[in-house]
C-alpha cells in the first residue's frame, strides 16, 4: 500500500511550469493507448488515424483552423476569468446567444446587404454574448449568488431558446419544415481566407488577434496586474483599491463578448444559418483549452489547435474504425485531468511512502528531524 | 383522487434522483470538499446501471453497478483533489466532462435497447389500501432508500461523534488536523460516499425514471442537485423539501406540455433551470444565513503540514 505525500517547493518550479502540458499530453496518449487496446484496436493504427491523418493535407489544416477558432476565442476570455478566480463556466450559453444576436440582421432583414452587414453582425454577436454573461455577473455582485451554478443553468436556457427560435418564429418558411433559418445572404457570410485551399474563414484571424490583445492586456497593462492580484489575494487587491465587483463585471463581459464573437463567427462562417445545435460543446471544451494553455493567451493558441485536433480525430476514428466519436470527449476530459494533476508538480514535490513502514506521525517526525539535519 | 395520487407519485419519482445526489453532495461539502462532478458521476451511474442490467438481465445487479460506478468514478476526483491538492472547481468540471464523454462511448451499443425497470414495492393488503396504499407501500425501491438515506445522514451528521468530526473538518481543516484528525481520510470517505449516492441517483434515472439509455439523460440534474445543497444551506431536511419542490416544477412543466398550454414547450422545459437560478438568488440574498451555514473551508485545498 502506497501513500502520496506532497512536499511544498520553496518557489514554483519553472521547469514543471513549462513541462506540465507536455507531460499531461504524454500521459493522455498512454491512457488513450490502453483505451484503444481495450476496444480491440491496435493503438498505433488508432493514433495514426486520430492524430496524423486528419492533418496531413492542406484542406484538412483549414478544417483544423475552423475548429480551433471558437475554442481559442472562448478560452482566451475564460483565462482572464479564471486568473481572477471568477468561474464563468457558461461560455456555451454565451456562444449561443452571440450566434443568435448576430443573426438578427441576416434572418430578419435579409434584404439588407453591403459591406456594413458583417461588422454589425459581429458587433451584435459580441453584445449578445456579453449581455448574457452580464446576468451571472449581476447576480454575483448584487446578491452574492454563486456564478458557477447560475452561468451553467443559463446554458440550458440558451439551448432551449435557440431550439424555439429555429423551430418557431425564425424558421425558414421555404425550408420544407426543417428546423433552420434561411441561408444567410452573401454579404452576411464571413469570407474564407484562401478559398482555393480550404474552408478556413476570418474567425481564425479574430482568434489570433484576440489572443495577442489579451496577452498584451494581461502582461503589459495595469488591468492585467489587477486581474492577477484579485485572483491570488482579494484582500491585497482591496488594499490596493481594486474593486472586486468591477472585476467580476470586467471578466464576465470580456469573456462573454469573446464567446459571443466566436458564436456569430461560427454561425456566419462555418454554418451559414442557424440550426437547433450550433456547437459541439465548444464552450465546455474551451475550459480545457484555457487550462492546457496555462491560462496564457499564447499558450491557449497552441492548446486550441491540440483540442481542435481531438475533434477531427474523433470524427476520423468514427468513420475509419467504427468507434464512437465520443472518444474525442474522453480524450478531452483525460487531458484536463492530467494537466491539473501535473500542475501539482509546479508547487509540490511528490513523495511516495509505503504505508506499512510508517509509524505514528509524531514519532516518525521526531526521529526524522535529526536525520534531516545530518543529511544537510 | 386517482389523478392526484398519480401526480404525487410522479413528483416523488422526479424528486428521488435529485434528493439522493444532493444528500451525497451535502456530506461531501460538509467535509469541506466541493465536488462539481456530480453530473459526471450521475451519468456514469446511469450508464453503469443500464449496462449491468442489460448484460445480466437483473435490474438489482444494475442498481449495485450504478452505485459502484459512481463510487469508483469519484475516487478519481478524490485522488486528484485530496492527494494531489488540485483545484477542486477545475477538477470537478473535468470529472463532469470526462463522465459525459465516457458514458457516451460506453453506451453507444445500448442506445435504443429496451431496459428493465426495477419493480415497485407490492405488499399484499397494504399496497391496495385506497389513496395512501400506493403512496406509502407501492413505490420503487430507490424511493425508500432515498428517504432512509436522508434520515440516516441527518442522524449521522448531527447525532454522532463521527458526524461532528466530519463537520469540524469542513469548518476548519487546519484545526482538525492539529487535533490529530485524519482530514484526508475523512474526506476520501466523504467523497466516495457522495460518488456512490450520485451513481445511485443516475441508476434511478436509467432503471426507474425512464428505463433505457439516452445520451446525456441526466440533463443537468447533477447541477441542480449542487444548487439544492446551497438552497438547503447544507441541511438534510431542507434538501428533502427542495428536491420535492424541484420535482414538482419538473413534473408540472411536463404536465403543462401534455395539456397543450399555449406556451412553447421549450419555455416550459427551461423552467427547472430558471427556477434554480431564482432560488439561488433568493437564498443568497440573505448573506448572514449563507455565511453562517457554509462550511468555512469549502473548496480550499488542504496539504497536511509536517
Across A243-247, A359-363, B56-60, B217-221, least confident range: A359-363
Complex prediction ipTM: 0.88
pLDDT at A358 over 60: no
> In which domain, by residue range, is B136 found?
2-293
Q: What is the pLDDT of residue A1?
A: 52
How is residue B298 annotated by DSSP? T
Cβ-defined contact of B280 to A284 (cutoff 8 Å) = no
Per residue in B177-230, pLDDT (tens digit) is 989 899 999 999 999 999 999 999 999 999 999 889 998 899 999 999 999 999
Higher pLDDT, B116 or A254: A254
Task: Measure CA B202 to chain center.
Answer: 8
Domain count, chain B: 1
H helix intervals, B205-264: 221-231, 236-258
Residue B65, SS3? helix
Cβ-defined contact of A153 to B85 (cutoff 8 Å) = no
Residues of B in contact with A168 (CB under 8 A): 264
Cβ-defined contact of A157 to B270 (cutoff 8 Å) = yes
pLDDT at A239 over 90: no
Q: What is the pLDDT of residue A365?
A: 47
The pTM of this model reads 0.89
> What does the alpha-carbon distance between residue B239 and residue B247 come to, in Å, rounded to a whole number?
12
The answer as to whether B304 is a domain residue is no
> What does the alpha-carbon distance between residue B218 and residue A228 come to, in Å, rounded to a whole number?
36
Cβ-defined contact of B101 to A365 (cutoff 8 Å) = no
**B219 — phi, psi (to 5°)?**
45, 45
Q: Is A67 exposed, middle or buried (0-12, 13-18, 19+ CB in 10 A)?
A: buried
Per residue in A50-91, pLDDT (tens digit) is 888 888 888 889 999 999 999 999 999 999 999 999 999 999
The answer as to whether B203 is a domain residue is yes
Rounded to the nearest angstrom, the minimum Cα separation between B22 and chain A is: 14
Which residue of A lies nearest to B90 if distances are taken between CA atoms?
A340
Residues of B in contact with A323 (CB under 8 A): 105
Per residue in A174-212, pLDDT (tens digit) is 888 889 998 898 888 888 888 888 888 899 999 999 999
Average pLDDT of the segment spanning B256-284: 87
pLDDT more than 70, % of chain B: 99
Q: What is the pLDDT of residue A372?
A: 43
A358 touches chain B (CB under 8 A): no
H or E element at residue A51: none
Smallest Cβ–Cβ distance between A341 and the set B86, B105, B273 belongs to B86
Cβ-defined contact of A327 to B105 (cutoff 8 Å) = yes
The answer as to whether B195 is a domain residue is yes
> What CATH class does A42-322 carry?
mainly alpha
Residues of B in contact with A4 (CB under 8 A): 83-84
Q: What is the pLDDT of residue B306?
A: 60
Q: What is the CATH number of the domain that holds B148?
A: 1.10.3470.10
- What is the average pLDDT score of chain A? 87
The answer as to whether B9 is a domain residue is yes
pLDDT at A373 over 60: no
Q: Is B148 exposed, middle or buried (0-12, 13-18, 19+ CB in 10 A)?
A: exposed
> What does the alpha-carbon distance between residue A339 and residue A24 come to, in Å, rounded to a whole number?
5
Q: Is B172 exposed, middle or buried (0-12, 13-18, 19+ CB in 10 A)?
A: middle
The answer as to whether B303 is a domain residue is no
Rounded to the nearest angstrom, the minimum Cα separation between A114 and chain B is: 35
> What is the pLDDT confidence band of residue B39, given thresholds at 50, 70 and 90?
very high
Q: What is the pLDDT of residue A353?
A: 74
- Contact criterion met (CB below 8 Å) for A272 and A293: no
**HEC sequence for B118-175:** CCCCCCCCCCCCCCHHHHHHCCCHHHHHHHHHHHHHHHHHHHCHHHHHHHHHHHCHHH
Residue to test with chain A: of B79, B92, B105, B281, most A Cβ within 10 A: B105
**A192 — phi, psi (to 5°)?**
-80, 150
Beta strand ranges found along A215-290 (DSSP E) = none
Q: What is the pLDDT of residue A364?
A: 45
Smallest Cβ–Cβ distance between A344 and the set B36, B86, B104 belongs to B86
H or E element at residue A4: strand A2-8
Residue A5, SS3? strand
Residue to test with chain A: of B213, B270, B288, most A Cβ within 10 A: B270
Q: What is the pLDDT of residue A355?
A: 56
> What does the alpha-carbon distance between residue A47 and residue A43 come to, in Å, rounded to a whole number?
6
The packing angle between helices B88-106 and B38-56, to 10°, is 20
Closest by CA to B222, choosing from B72, B88, B42, is B42
Amino acid at each position: 500500500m502506497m501513500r502520496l505525500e506532497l512536499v511544498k517547493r520553496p518557489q514554483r518550479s519553472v521547469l514543471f511550469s513549462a513541462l506540465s502540458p507536455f507531460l499531461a499530453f504524454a500521459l493522455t496518449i498512454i491512457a488513450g493507448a490502453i483505451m484503444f487496446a481495450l476496444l480491440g484496436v491496435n493503438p498505433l493504427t488508432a493514433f495514426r488515424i486520430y492524430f496524423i491523418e486528419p492533418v496531413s493535407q492542406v484542406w484538412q489544416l483549414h478544417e483544423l483552423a475552423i475548429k480551433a477558432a471558437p475554442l481559442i476565442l472562448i478560452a482566451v476570455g475564460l483565462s482572464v476569468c479564471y486568473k481572477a478566480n471568477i468561474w464563468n463556466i457558461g461560455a456555451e450559453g454565451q456562444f449561443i446567444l452571440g450566434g443568435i444576436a448576430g443573426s438578427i440582421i441576416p434572418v430578419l432583414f435579409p434584404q439588407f446587404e453591403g459591406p456594413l452587414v458583417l461588422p454589425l453582425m459581429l458587433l451584435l454577436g459580441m453584445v449578445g454574448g456579453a449581455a448574457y454573461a452580464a446576468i451571472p455577473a449581476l447576480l454575483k455582485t448584487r446578491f452574492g449568488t454563486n456564478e458557477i451554478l447560475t452561468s451553467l443553468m443559463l446554458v440550458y436556457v440558451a439551448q432551449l431558446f435557440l431550439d424555439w427560435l429555429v423551430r418557431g418564429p425564425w424558421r425558414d418558411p421555404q425550408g420544407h419544415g426543417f428546423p433552420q433559418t434561411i441561408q444567410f445572404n452573401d454579404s452576411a457570410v464571413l469570407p474564407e481566407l484562401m478559398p482555393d485551399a480550404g474552408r478556413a474563414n476570418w474567425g481564425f484571424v479574430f482568434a489570433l488577434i484576440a489572443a495577442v490583445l489579451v496577452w498584451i492586456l494581461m502582461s503589459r497593462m495595469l488591468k492585467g496586474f489587477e486581474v492577477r492580484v484579485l485572483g491570488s489575494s482579494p484582500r491585497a487587491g482591496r488594499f490596493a483599491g481594486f474593486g472586486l465587483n468591477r472585476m467580476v463585471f470586467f471578466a464576465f463581459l470580456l469573456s462573454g463578448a469573446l464567446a459571443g464573437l466566436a458564436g456569430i463567427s461560427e454561425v456566419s462562417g462555418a454554418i451559414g444559418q442557424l440550426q437547433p445545435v450550433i456547437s459541439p460543446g465548444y464552450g465546455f471544451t474551451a475550459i480545457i483549452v484555457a487550462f492546457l494553455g496555462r491560462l496564457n493567451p499564447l499558450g491557449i493558441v497552441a492548446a486550441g489547435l491540440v483540442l481542435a485536433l481531438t475533434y477531427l480525430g474523433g470524427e476520423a476514428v468514427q468513420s475509419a474504425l467504427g468507434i464512437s466519436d465520443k472518444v474525442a470527449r474522453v480524450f478531452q476530459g483525460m487531458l484536463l485531468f492530467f494537466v491539473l494533476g501535473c500542475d501539482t508538480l509546479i508547487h509540490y514535490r511528490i513523495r511516495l511512502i509505503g504505508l506499512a513502514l510508517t509509524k505514528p506521525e509524531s514519532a516518525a517526525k521526531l526521529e526524522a528531524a535529526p536525520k534531516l539535519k545530518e543529511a544537510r | 383522487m386517482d389523478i392526484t395520487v398519480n401526480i404525487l407519485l410522479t413528483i416523488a419519482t422526479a424528486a428521488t434522483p435529485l434528493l439522493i445526489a444532493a444528500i451525497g453532495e451535502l456530506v461531501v461539502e460538509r467535509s469541506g470538499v466541493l465536488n462539481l462532478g456530480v453530473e459526471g458521476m450521475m451519468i456514469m451511474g446511469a450508464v453503469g446501471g443500464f449496462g449491468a442490467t442489460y448484460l445480466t438481465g437483473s435490474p438489482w445487479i444494475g442498481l449495485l453497478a450504478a452505485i459502484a460506478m459512481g463510487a469508483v468514478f469519484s475516487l478519481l476526483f478524490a485522488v486528484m483533489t485530496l492527494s494531489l491538492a488540485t483545484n477542486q472547481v477545475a477538477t470537478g468540471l473535468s470529472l463532469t466532462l470526462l463522465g459525459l464523454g465516457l458514458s457516451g462511448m460506453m453506451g453507444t451499443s445500448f442506445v435504443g435497447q429496451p431496459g428493465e425497470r426495477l419493480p415497485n414495492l407490492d405488499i399484499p393488503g397494504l399496497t391496495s389500501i385506497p389513496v395512501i396504499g400506493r403512496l406509502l407501500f407501492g413505490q420503487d425501491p430507490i424511493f425508500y432508500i432515498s428517504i432512509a438515506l436522508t434520515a440516516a445522514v441527518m442522524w449521522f451528521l448531527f447525532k454522532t461523534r463521527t458526524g461532528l468530526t466530519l463537520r469540524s473538518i469542513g469548518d476548519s481543516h487546519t484545526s482538525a488536523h492539529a487535533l490529530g484528525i485524519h482530514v484526508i481520510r475523512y474526506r476520501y470517505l466523504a467523497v466516495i460516499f457522495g460518488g456512490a449516492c450520485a451513481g445511485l441517483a443516475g441508476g434511478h434515472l436509467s432503471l426507474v425514471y425512464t428505463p433505457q439509455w439516452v445520451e446525456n439523460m441526466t440533463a443537468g440534474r447533477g447541477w441542480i442537485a449542487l444548487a439544492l445543497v446551497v438552497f438547503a444551506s447544507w441541511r438534510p431536511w431542507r434538501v428533502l423539501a427542495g428536491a420535492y419542490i424541484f420535482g414538482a416544477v419538473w413534473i408540472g412543466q411536463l404536465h403543462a406540455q401534455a395539456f397543450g398550454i399555449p406556451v412553447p414547450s421549450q419555455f416550459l422545459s427551461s423552467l427547472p433551470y430558471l427556477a434554480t437560478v431564482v432560488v439561488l438568488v433568493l437564498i443568497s440574498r440573505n448573506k448572514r444565513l449563507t455565511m453562517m451555514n457554509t462550511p468555512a473551508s469549502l473548496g480550499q485545498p488542504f496539504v497536511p503540514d509536517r
